[in-house]
Structure 1
Amino acid sequence: MNRREALSAVAFLMGTAVIGAEAFLTGCQRSTATDELFSIQDVSLLNEVADTILPTTKSSPGAKAANIGAFIKTMVTDCYQEIDQQTFTAGLKKLQEISQTQFNKAFEDLMPSQKHTLVVSLDREAKNYQQDKAEGQPNHYFTNLKQLTLLGYFTSEPGATLALRYLPVPGRFIGCMPYEPGTKAWAM
């Protein structure tokens, strides 16, 4: 092999490595279809529903303070299968339709008591659905929404530090400690 053939072979190998790497790495790019799954209004709606599930109290902020809507958006977009994503987004639309039908207003514009009434009826509907659903059917959208709200809130900074008792550096382990009624649970 002469020098010209060697350079030609190296150039060919390097060129395919660069082109091949480009084609390989494009598979790692985030899909633009999933970015459009939730609008800014949807995230706002998720915050409102989550804040109805976990409202602000004297001792702790509500779910809206922890921006649970953004957490739910990320979880559904990144972790749910496509069928579950479709069920969830269709459920959000259904929630708004029910709000319009019952109260002639969007969920965000309802009074707190109306929001509570709607959320309680959806929770009842979800429990009935979960009991009667066949194996392999997706969960009710409100069941997923409620679970994500609880997960997001109690793993957020406001939820873990203000709603629960929190020790950043715990002391010694005490296996059996007396329980005082009304005290907060410990953050993990």
Structure 2
Amino acid sequence: MNRREALRNLAIITGGIILVPSCNFSQEEVLVAYDNLSIKPSQAELLASIADTIIPATDTKGAADISVQDFILVMVNDCMEQDAQETFTQGLNDFESFSKNAGGKAFLKQERGTRERVITQGMSLEDEDNLHISEFLQITKRMTIQGFMASEYMMTEVRPYSLIPGTYNGEVLISNIDKESING
């Protein structure tokens, strides 16, 4: 064996030994898209489930179908103050244990009626220990509704947006008028 090959192999083995401790795949990684929040993929999935419980899929798509949880996380990350972000994160972290106490099992494994009851209970909490859960759920509900109503799906397929003042047609019977427009 050549001395250069031996040194090269030794360098490769040494580099591999140095990199092995950093290859720990057992921990869940934090989503890096959010600068001010430390959100894990499982928490984003929980948030999607909460949003889908608030606006479920019926004849229209639900909140999880149009990824409202991404809108919520971006709004909290970019538009809220630091203390509100901390309250949101703490509420998201503690919601799963609250859900287990209130509903008997993990939120993602509960039926729809139990999920609705857990969210309603969580929003009505007033004690100091669980106030952050109530604030988290109120922020989530408000952002879910805002994100759903402003989504591309809502504005193009459910209630198409038309510019104001729109077209003028002076000879229209009231019985021929289409669905109302939500143009403001």
TM-score bucket of the superposed structures, by smaller chain = 0.5 to 0.7
Counterpart-to-counterpart distance in 2, 1:41 and 1:93: 10
Deviations 1:54-76 (A, max 9, x none): 01112x11000110111111111
1:150 aligns with 2:156: no
Instruction: Give the TM-score of the pair, scaled to structure 2.
Output: 0.64
Deviation at 1:187, TM superposition (A): 5.4
Q: Describe how 1:33-182 pairs up with structure 2 within 5 A.
A: 34=35, 37-58=38-59, 60-123=60-123, 125=124, 140-163=135-158, 165-168=159-162, 171-172=166-167
Q: CA distance change for structure 1 residues 168 and 71 in 2, over 3 Å: closer, same or farther?
A: same
8 Å Cα contact 1:61-1:162 kept in structure 2: no
Q: CA distance change for structure 1 residues 186 and 35 in 2, over 3 Å: closer, same or farther?
A: same
Q: CA distance change for structure 1 residues 57 and 78 in 2, over 3 Å: closer, same or farther?
A: same
Q: CA distance change for structure 1 residues 122 and 35 in 2, over 3 Å: closer, same or farther?
A: same
8 Å Cα contact 2:154-2:160 kept in structure 1: no
SS class of match (1:66): coil
Counterpart-to-counterpart distance in 1, 2:139 and 2:160: 27
Runs of 4+ in 1 over 4 A off after TM superposition: none
Deviations 1:109-148 (A, max 9, x none): 111111111112223x16x68xxx9xxxxx8222111111
Structure 2: state its 5+ residue gaps: 1-31
8 Å Cα contact 2:163-2:183 kept in structure 1: no
Structure 1: state its 5+ residue gaps: 1-30, 134-138
Deviation at 1:102, TM superposition (A): 2.2
Number of residue equivalences:
142
Q: CA distance change for structure 1 residues 111 and 187 in 2, over 3 Å: closer, same or farther?
A: farther
Q: Describe how 1:8-19 pairs up with structure 2 within 5 A.
A: none
Instruction: Give the TM-score of the pair, scaled to structure 1.
Output: 0.63
2:14 corresponds to: none
Q: CA distance change for structure 1 residues 75 and 166 in 2, over 3 Å: closer, same or farther?
A: same
Counterpart-to-counterpart distance in 2, 1:106 and 1:173: 54
Counterpart-to-counterpart distance in 1, 2:42 and 2:114: 20
8 Å Cα contact 1:91-1:141 kept in structure 2: yes
8 Å Cα contact 2:56-2:63 kept in structure 1: yes
Counterpart of 1:150, as a letter, is: I
Counterpart-to-counterpart distance in 1, 2:183 and 2:48: 22
